[in-house]
Structure 1
């Protein structure tokens, strides 16, 4: 939600400005946290809806390796992957990759930030370069519910700080 704080207009319409609380994002403890900054903008500025952190434009990715295994004897599942995150832009970025994955053959999808436990979290990608998001974790599963036999990557998005 954006709140107009004040407006000021001189005799020229070109000099009319207003102050808005604009959302910004900062990377803190593997999470993008929102905060607001008062910014002076032209009176005809239309504030965009704050629907979350900005998504990196022109972003691409390549799944180099992705495996999900279930060990019913030990009642654990292991997720291991390497995904090449590409920033083809002429500027470096700071942010967090989010993966959408789903059990193979299922319609339920899971969206997550795996950076917290990744050995290479890719919080920064320099201009015109790549970073390989590297993850390998084992989890206990609830034997009453079980675990899927396999998982697949649906998509990867990279959300940035401002």
Structure 2
């Protein structure tokens, strides 16, 4: 009787361990590469003297997420201020830090400063970029 049990157990053991998994039956998981978030400058205005002893900088930028998933990220705006190039960053908790799938987000900036702070003749927009951190 023990010999029969041993034979049956050995056969079952060989069948269980001997079956190989067929990886062709497993579904292929496609990882979709994210498309860059596009941007459109809706408004950019620099007024060197508003008439109130101040200067004004304002801009409005629309970011468009063409992906089928929401994205988290931040944007960079590069400005040329009288020949000095500087880039400002936001963070993922700031405006447009999360953009829903196939959606847009508009960020707005407006700053009015006293002319006594510094003499600034021109500010021009050099570039805008949205950096995806995660989906």
TM-score band by shorter chain is 0.5 to 0.7
Stretches of structure 2 that go unaligned for 5 or more consecutive residues are 1-33
Taking structure 1 as the reference length, the TM-score comes to 0.51
Change (3 A) 1:62 1:147: same
Matched with 1:159 is: 131
1:1-162 matches, within 5 Å, as: 57-71=35-49, 74-103=52-81, 107-113=83-89, 121-142=95-116, 145-148=118-121, 150-162=122-134
TM-score by length of 2: 0.59
Larger helix percent: 2
Q: Alignment RMSD, CA only?
A: 2.7
Structure ranking higher in strand proportion: 1
Higher relative contact order (Cα pairs below 8 Å, separated by 6+ residues): 2
State the structure with more CA Rg.
2
Residues paired across the two proteins, number: 99
**Runs of 4 or more consecutive aligned structure 1 residues displaced over 4 Å after TM superposition:** 72-75
Query: Which stretches in structure 1 are left out of the alignment for 5+ residues?
Result: 1-55
